[in-house]
Structure 1
Amino acid sequence: MKEHKQPSYDDFSTVEKSHEYITAEEFPDGPFGSPVNQKLGKSTSWEEGQRTYSAFNYENKNLHEKAQRLFPGAHPVHDNPEEHEQNPS
Structure 2
Amino acid sequence: MDRDLEHQPVQRLGDVYNIHAQLGVLTAPAWRGRGLARATGSAAVRHAPAQGLLPQWRARRPASRKVAVALGFSELGSQPAVEPA
TM-score (norm 1): 0.27
Larger radius of gyration: 1
Q: Tell me which protein shows more helix as a share of its residues.
A: 2
* TM-score scaled by length of structure 2: 0.28
